[in-house]
Structure 1
Amino acid sequence: MIGIVDYGMGNLRSVANAFLKMDIKAEITDKPGDIDSYDRLVLPGVGAFGKCLENLKDNGLYEVTVDFIKSGKPFLGICVGMQLLFEKSYEYGEYNGMGIFPGAVKKFEIKKEGEYKIPHMGWNSLVLKKRHPLIEDIRDGEYMYFVHSYYAPVCDFSVATAEYAGVEFSALVVRENVAATQFHPEKSQQAGLKILKNFGEWKC
């Protein structure tokens, strides 16, 4: 069973329904005591980094999520749920993240007015950097759906990247049992559903 962490900052029902379409059992929970019982865990996120972090901690879900990551069981962060896994964010201040992945989350800088818009919203193509079970049957150049104003840097754990406003950023990162996507797989049609299916079958 896959658990989807409910801390008031995620597109939870869409994620749960996407797993259901792949015949994968998943349920939403806001109970810290439930977290350890799941085989896999998903941390979605919509909104500002600092508020997501605050809500996780206020609802008693931060430490149990970190403990789940340390357990070695498969874990997936989505959008801000991915950014929380990096060392730091500069979104409306400076915040420390979980530090699973190296680097700081920063805002896209638009150098020429009208050239790009923030947030980066819509379809963008992936550049596959290395092979991994999570991108099985995903082709280089595959389009995924993004909604974000801040981005995570490319690092040694970047499996796929994308580019916007002249910046290459991490679109999919994996380190041992921890994976995360900047794009929304639940909104990315068949390609996104395939990544969720791959996560449901991932033996890390």
Structure 2
Amino acid sequence: MSFLPKPKVAQLILAAGCSSRMGKPKQLLPWRGTTLIEHAIKQTIELDGIITYVILGAYYDTIYERIKDYPITILKNKYWQKGMGTTIQCGINTLQKEAIPYDAVLISLIDQPLLQTCHYKKLLVSFYKGDHSIIATDLGEKKGVPSVISSIYFDELTKLKENFGARYLIKQYKDQVKSICAKNEGIDIDTVTDYEGLIKKNYSS
């Protein structure tokens, strides 16, 4: 019996924003003895065979010094101020230039700290089955990232409007999407109130 090789997947952790609603670098907020960005990195480097790219922009020098020793590739989006679309473009353009022919990309954020490695594994396992070209996270009212997106969409990801994220592609190709539920774990942090509420919930549970 012959077995098909497992698809090659790269991960893009999007961490280029300036956290305008937070008023300080969200990436460096304390979380479970580390920072939000380091927590995100630690969840993903446990994924077997996945190469991780972290895309920075605002506060580049400060954040770079904090994460430079992790087994990751750090990219710099010079155009981060124009929106998340440029950060995704930066990552996909890099992947397309690599010697490794990636079959898909796992796009994730640093501000969904309740998501654990097991959720990323579920997304990947579902993609490996080959039934759908996009595996998204069901966040309740919407489907979004973390998402595994086939390389057949790479060219479209490089042409995203500057202020569009992966959710635009997920909505556009909804018939090709399978979702994995994470309604209670996919909570993201945008404001100080969000952060303080999640900290309180995390340590009281």
More strand as a share of residues: 1
TM-score exceeds 0.5? no
TM-score (norm 2): 0.31
TM-score (norm 1): 0.31
More helix as a share of residues: 2
